[in-house]
Amino acid sequence: QSVLTQPPSASGTPGQRVTISCSGSSSNIGSNYVYWYQQLPGTAPKLLIYRNNQRPSGVPDRFSGSKSGTSASLAISGLRSEDEADYYCAAWDDSLSGQVFGGGTKLTVL
């Protein structure tokens, strides 16, 4: 059972916009930044969004992040086949004094 809650799966067709939610609590998302990671099959995770809504250089602006209260979401617009991957949210948890991850959402591009 992960501290941060994500839907196990999401799907969309090419060109569509999809969102992935991440729910936490006051000790993690409510009081700290949220990060998003993309993990393509068989590879290490890659930083996608940092500090709630910032994109590292090289990440397309099709990817965007937002946070409100104790929840966050990742939006992917103009969905492409290469976006098919697992997506994880993460945040620091003050109560645990540790990094916590969501359980991951498997995105399928139909």
Q: Give the residue with the Cβ less far from other proteins, 23 or 33.
A: 33
Please pick, from the candidates 2, 53, 66, 70, the single residue that binds other proteins as defined by CB under 8 A.
2
> Least distance to other proteins from the beta carbon of 24, Å?
14
Q: Residue 103, class by beta-carbon neighbours within 10 Å (0-12 exposed, 13-18 middle, 19+ buried)?
A: middle
Name the segment binding other proteins (CB under 8 A); options: 10-18, 23-31, 37-45, 69-77: 37-45
User: Of 47, 62, 66, 77, which one interacts with other proteins (CB under 8 A)?
Assistant: 47
Rounded to the nearest whole angstrom, what is the least distance from the CB of residue 44 to other proteins in the complex?
A: 4
Q: What are phi and psi of 83, to 5 degrees?
A: -85, -5
Task: For residue 101, state whether it binds other proteins (rule: CB under 8 A).
Answer: yes
Cβ-Cβ contacts under 8 Å for 106 (sequence gap 6 or more): 8, 9, 10, 85, 86
